[in-house]
Amino acid sequence: VLNRRCVEAAVMTGLALNCSINKKSLFDRKHYFYADLPAGYQITQQRVPIAVNGSLSYSLCKDNKMSQMVTKTVRIKQIQLEQDSGKSLHDDTRNQTLVDLNRAGVGLMEVVMEPDMCCGEEAAAAVRELQLILQTLGSSQAVMAEGQLRVDANVSVHHPGEPYGVRTEVKNINSIRFLAKAVDYEIQRQIEELENGGTILNETRAFDSKLGCTVPMRDKEGKQDYRFMPEPNLPPLILYDAKSLPANMNHQQVVNIDWINERLPDLPSVKRAKLVERYGILPEHSFALLNEDGLTEFFENVVKQTRMKPKKVIGWILNVLLSYLKQHSLTVKESPVSSVLMADLLNLLEKKEISSTAAKQVLAELWKGEGKTPLEIVKEKKLELIQDQEELEQICQAVIDGQENE
């Protein structure tokens, strides 16, 4: 039985990726034997999937410099609904496989991309953007480490101008970082193989994260014949829009594409543009803000509570706070310094009561999370900027006198 939420999520994702939504899509059976597929077949959409012909735009830092960002696009071939299989855990020591069937039969959405990417970095950036989009839509929490987002990379090489080479499929990639590594490794492996006069087999390989390489996967013996056939238990999936809405159908049974389209939240690219426009920050700043969960909210909260200009605040958030968080492997939610404390600190700086250097010292103290306010720390450590002209002259004179005595 098809779950309505799956259909809605697929439509939302299709719309967000600029796809054409097929108002009529069909289900098929894909037959193969494996311990984690108890029925011996998987229900999927091979003939007519729910969405086709979309695109995904993503940004790359040119030459690793944040200031030079390029926008690239990868075409989306299709999005299809299908069933998940169970989870296999390979126990090589006891020569057995342990199968967990809890997720078998649960709905999956497969996004198929065209081969428009040319290296690990591009693949990683594209998938990262897809991840952010899925999280924004609520289609998936897309955490790769938990298998909520799974990526299989298809890699091939060819000389410019020549047709695409034989591709291999790389599985078992558990993070965005590993995706880039796996793709780059496989590209290198294929180039070396061909340069040594070898050939590339159309095979499935697994990425070994410990060794940083790909290895042939056992069990992909020969060419599989999946004997696709229409799924007899599921009639075609019909989607409606404002024009084709049937008059007397149960609401719960109707999925209205236009209704969903009207309720799409702001996609990451739109959010970034709005941040740039509203706060006058640079595109690469908004990119960095969206890249860290909760950072945008933190930034906006600080801006609300301080007189310091957003263009200056962003520096403190991205260069100082973020690096502290990274150093201590903390998420924004776990930050010992709240947006309130941060705003207080920046206010002291803005009012010129402390210097920039002093502010950094105060932040280091705040990081200890001992509950003191920025003002308390400033007083405690006597970090106030001296405003009194006479006092300053006395100090300078003392230093000069001290020098003369040497």
Output the furthest CA–CA distance in the chain (Å, rounded): 99
Angle at Cα 232 formed by Cα 228 and Cα 235, nearest 5°? 110
Q: How far is the CB of 147 from other proteins (least distance, A)?
A: 16
Q: How far is the CB of 26 from other proteins (least distance, A)?
A: 7
Q: In terms of CB distance, is 252 or 405 closer to other proteins?
A: 252
Q: How far is the CB of 231 from other proteins (least distance, A)?
A: 9
For residue 23, give the nearest of 7, 2, 42 by alpha carbon: 7
Q: Say how many residues make up the chain.
A: 406
Q: How far is the CB of 105 from other proteins (least distance, A)?
A: 12
Three-state secondary structure call for residue 125 = helix
Tokens 């230093």 belong to: 399
Q: In terms of CB distance, is 41 or 299 closer to other proteins?
A: 41
Q: In terms of CB distance, is 198 or 236 closer to other proteins?
A: 236
Q: In terms of CB distance, is 259 or 324 closer to other proteins?
A: 259
How many CB atoms are located within 10 Å of the residue 110 CB? 15
Q: In terms of CB distance, is 221 or 406 closer to other proteins?
A: 221
- Binding residues (CB under 8 A) for other proteins: these are 1-5, 7, 26, 31, 33-35, 88-92, 95-101, 218-219, 221, 225, 227, 230, 232, 234-238, 249, 252-253, 255
For residue 209, give the nearest of 243, 167, 247, 180 by alpha carbon: 180
Q: How far is the CB of 172 from other proteins (least distance, A)?
A: 15
Q: In terms of CB distance, is 89 or 119 closer to other proteins?
A: 89
Q: How far is the CB of 102 from other proteins (least distance, A)?
A: 9
Phi, psi of 208 (to 5 degrees): -100, 105
Phi, psi of 247 (to 5 degrees): -70, -45
Reported in sequence order, the residue ranges of 50-150 that DSSP labels E, i.e. its strands, are: 51-61, 69-83, 87-91, 96-100, 107-113
Q: How far is the CB of 241 from other proteins (least distance, A)?
A: 17
Residue type, 12: M
Tokens 């729910």 belong to: 50
Q: In terms of CB distance, is 26 or 61 closer to other proteins?
A: 26
Rg of the chain's alpha carbons, rounded to an integer?
28
**For helices 283-291 and 120-137, what crossing angle results, to 10°?**
70
